[in-house]
Amino acid sequence: MRLIVMGGSLRSESLNTRLLRHLAGALEARGHEVSTFASEALRLPLYEDGVAPAEAAQALYAALREAQGLVIVSPEYNAGIPGHLKNAVDWLSTMRPSPWMGLPVLLCAASPGAFGGARGLMAWRVTLANMGALVLPEAITVPHADQQLDADGAPTDARTATSVPKVLDGFLGLASRLRG
């Protein structure tokens, strides 16, 4: 399948970007074609009514329209969606035909905190449901990610490490049933 992996922060040491690269690799290793949108690819101008979407927004839109599934790896800012990612989603929500309707989505987060960014993912669910995306009930969260992600972004905690392949397979099953 053609899959998009999108997210991380604009920080060069972003834990979420590290996790994103690990998950993109795991999906590629399963034989899927993965396009990654992270860091600078998500530095879009603030959404403004009547202004044409920037080239980077158009590139993300075109990729999403072709994709059979989307993996979002998002930091949690104040129990919500970070501004740069919400801004990207807002741009893409104004473009037609909608890239979101019926799109299978897997949500992932990493945080130094004890909840692993799980509260931010609840905010993502509200926004994605509003646009018609179909979000897998299970998610990948990495708590204490400053200590529990290795240099390649793989979770080192045994419970998280065991759950990641299961959640990925659950997502791939959903995407293949809906769009495969």
Residues that bind ligand FNR (CB under 6 A): 8-9, 11, 14-17, 75-79, 111-113, 115, 117
Sequence length of the chain is: 180
* Of 83, 75, 69, the residue nearest 142 (C-alpha): 75
For ligand FNR, the closer of residues 10 and 134 by Cβ is 10
For ligand FNR, the closer of residues 68 and 160 by Cβ is 160
Helix (H, G, I), strand (E, B) or coil at 4: strand
At its nearest, how many Å lie between ligand FNR and the CB of residue 135?
A: 20
Plot region of 148 (φ>0 → left; ψ -120 to 50 → alpha; else → beta): alpha
For ligand FNR, the closer of residues 113 and 170 by Cβ is 113
For ligand FNR, the closer of residues 78 and 96 by Cβ is 78
At its nearest, how many Å lie between ligand FNR and the CB of residue 119?
A: 6
At its nearest, how many Å lie between ligand FNR and the CB of residue 85?
A: 11
For ligand FNR, the closer of residues 2 and 144 by Cβ is 144
Q: Tokens for 33?
A: 């074609």
Amino acid at the residue 142: V
At its nearest, how many Å lie between ligand FNR and the CB of residue 6?
A: 13
At its nearest, how many Å lie between ligand FNR and the CB of residue 158?
A: 21
For ligand FNR, the closer of residues 15 and 24 by Cβ is 15
b/e map 73-93, b = 16+ CB within 10 Å: bbbbbeebbbebbbbbbebbe
At its nearest, how many Å lie between ligand FNR and the CB of residue 54?
A: 22
Eight-state DSSP code of residue 53 = P
Contacts 24+ apart (CB under 8 A), 43-51: 43/10, 43/84, 44/84, 44/87, 44/88, 44/91, 46/87, 47/87, 47/90, 47/91, 47/94
